[in-house]
Amino acid sequence: MAVDTSVVVVSHRPGDWLAACLGSVLSQASEVVVVDNGSEGEAVTATAAPLGVHVVRADANLGFAGGVALALGHTRGELVGVLNDDAVAGPNWLDAAGAVLADTTVAAVTPKVLLDGTYAEILLEDDPWFAPGDARPLGRQLRSVTVDGVEVIEDLRGGGVHATEFAPDPGDGGGPPPRWRWTSGSNPFYAPVPDTGRHEVTVDGDAVTVRGLCHLVNHAGSFLERHGVAGEYGLGAPDDGRFDTQAERFGFSGTAPVFRAETLRRLGGLEPRFFAYNEDTDWCLRARLAGMRIVYDPAASVRHRLSATSRGPRAPLVRFLAQRNALLCLVRNAPATVARQVLWRRLREAPEPGLRVAMAHLLPWALATRVRMRRSWTTTPSAVWARWAGADMTWDTSPAARRDEAGGPPAR
């Protein structure tokens, strides 16, 4: 390796994925720094220490952002990769990123991140329709999707299915189903299946044809919505070559970005006060305001077991942190008019008082840090919003290029 490279892994609630994560980087990094982020019984240390990595113990859970901040004080590499503990890096992850980071205008590189596992492609080919006041194309209302008899409706991915919706408790009088998902009508969706063999898939009790097996994209860079929340470009689309071109994106998710250490010293790392969620969007906005670029490079890939550590977006703490940090991110980095409008609307509509209390406590800090960070701005929030807000929010969601269930998914 031409330069010293450090990899940072933060872990609080380790599973069997942690050893796989560390094993994927031991041979390609100069050093691996693992933060035992207050794990129960020092479980992280017990897994990591025998592998010969540098373990830094935190007495309490500092969150992902705080854990990364702690680790950076113990790294010595010229390049720094941050890898989620439920992700496994491909063998070229660091070398590929290092080649892109030779351009000093690039603040960070994100690889192609794939969802772990194999997915069956299903296409119902319903005619799309639009409900009054709803801009989404709708197809049919799915109440159950099973794979080999196991319910997977909440694990479906892809542009052909919308998010899960939940009905109020129908009580003794019956009523709508407790949860459902709308299809989009004409696009495929994907159900997780075991890696090999043919599988019986049913939709609302009826057997359906599996068009083929494939791997899915989790992240090919991120986009910025006009109200300041970032989304994952390519999420749920098949990995069949359509995301194999290097491109500039608005930003990255925190799954597997790589930085120059010098850039982190100049711009700072992930903001510890965010604890977790949207700290990556905050950093990307800071880099953009400093005039730097962020590049998606598919030359290397990372597999990600989505939400294995955090237990997913339905967890109350996850929802709270995501909402709070999205507002803090706006106050720190967005055009003032956007920040005011979104902040006022979200706090007025907040269903629980906790968000309003948290923002009242942290708003002075967010405003003070905005003033301080302006010293490093080489452009304006309005210019960043004009270029990136609302851009690159759609991608190719057509069926996978190869459909060969018996032969298995296409090569990565």
DSSP 334-402: S-HHHHHHHHHHHHHH-SSHHHHHHHHHHHHHHHHHHHHHGGG-SS-HHHHHHHHBT-S-----SPPS-
d(CA 231, CA 223): 5
Q: Give residue-wise pLDDT tens across range 104-162.
A: 999 999 999 999 999 999 999 889 999 998 888 999 999 999 999 999 999 999 999 99
Burial class (CB in 10 A: 0-12, 13-18, 19+), 110: buried
Q: What is the pLDDT of residue 313?
A: 54
In sequence order, the β-bridge partners of residue 80 are 6, 259
Strands 54-58 and 31-37, by their bridges, are parallel
Q: Using an 8 Å Cβ cutoff, are 54 and 47 in contact?
A: no
Strands 54-58 and 141-142, by their bridges, are unpaired
Q: What are the tokens at 103?
A: 């351009």
Query: Which value, in Å, is the radius of gyration of the alpha carbons in the chain?
Result: 22
Q: What is the pLDDT of residue 337?
A: 97
d(CA 74, CA 57): 12
Q: What is the pLDDT of residue 312?
A: 54
Please report, for the chain, the start and end positions of each structural domain, with discontinuous segments joined by +: 5-117+218-310, 119-213, 318-379
DSSP-derived secondary structure letter, 88: E
DSSP-derived secondary structure letter, 7: E
Strands 31-37 and 5-11, by their bridges, are parallel
Q: What is the pLDDT of residue 135?
A: 86
Neighbours of 58 (CB within 10 A): 19
Q: What is the pTM (predicted TM-score) of this model?
A: 0.92
Strands, sheet with 150-151, edge to edge from the N-terminal-most edge strand: 150-151, 145-147, 201-203, 206-208
Q: In Å, what is the CA distance from 348 to each residue of 326, 328, 329? A: 15, 16, 18
Q: What is the pLDDT of residue 410?
A: 47
d(CA 390, CA 225): 5
Domain 5-117+218-310 bears CATH identifier 2.130.10.10? no
Q: What is the pLDDT of residue 412?
A: 39
- Axis crossing angle, helix 316-333 with helix 279-289, rounded to the nearest 10: 10
- Find tokens 């099973």 and name the residue: 146
d(CA 232, CA 253): 7
Residues of the chain falling short of pLDDT 70: 1, 169-177, 307-314, 402-412
Q: Which of 97, 74, 89 is nearest to 299 (CA)?
A: 97
Q: What is the pLDDT of residue 403?
A: 46
In sequence order, the β-bridge partners of residue 118 are 193
Q: What is the pLDDT of residue 172?
A: 52
